[in-house]
Amino acid sequence: MPTSDSYHDYLISRLKDRDYATVYLETHLELEEEEKPDRELLTLALSHVANALGEENMTPEKVKLQIKEIDTLFSPGGSEPIHKFGNWLNALGLKLPDSKLRQIKHFQMKPSHTGSQTRRKFSKF
């Protein structure tokens, strides 16, 4: 029988503190120079925060929906992802400074090239 709590349980209990959750997310959004964004790691961090803060404010079904919405935060396009990210955080009772919200742009998926762009590229030959 284990004599200590699991790290996951400990992390979730710490993330129930909104100040701690805010710093936790800010840390995951920060990138060092030349560092590549790790969308999977940020997704995991966001799901941890949703699980921790959602327990007291949402039904289990709403928490599941909140976690499913994470992938939509990374869709490309203008300032909409920043707005979506802010709304996502607000649903959990969190707010990040605008400078941190803008960091989500680094984690966005790049738009795929369409067939017409590919054809133009090879039309020179």
Predicted confidence (pLDDT) per residue in 34-69, tens digit: 888 899 999 999 999 999 999 888 999 999 999 999
Is the whole model's pTM more than 0.85, yes or no? no
Q: Taking residues 3-20, what's their average pLDDT?
A: 89
Where are the extended beta strands (E) located within 42-106? none
Domain, as residue range, for 84? 7-122
- Reply yes or no on whether the pLDDT at 90 is more than 60: yes
Domain assignment of residue 1, yes or no: no
Domain assignment of residue 19, yes or no: yes
Domain assignment of residue 95, yes or no: yes
Question: Count of domains in the chain?
Answer: 1
Domain assignment of residue 76, yes or no: yes
Q: DSSP code of 79? A: T
Query: Over pLDDT 90: what percentage of the chain?
Result: 51
Higher pLDDT, 81 or 11: 11
Nearest to 15 by CA among 40, 43, 46: 46
Dig out the tokens for 81 from the structure: 């992802």
Domain assignment of residue 2, yes or no: no
Cβ atoms within 10 Å of 45's Cβ, excluding its own: 20
Dig out the tokens for 89 from the structure: 């955080």
Please name the residues in contact with 55: beta carbons below 8 A apart, sequence gap of 6 or more. Answer: 16, 63
Domain assignment of residue 62, yes or no: yes
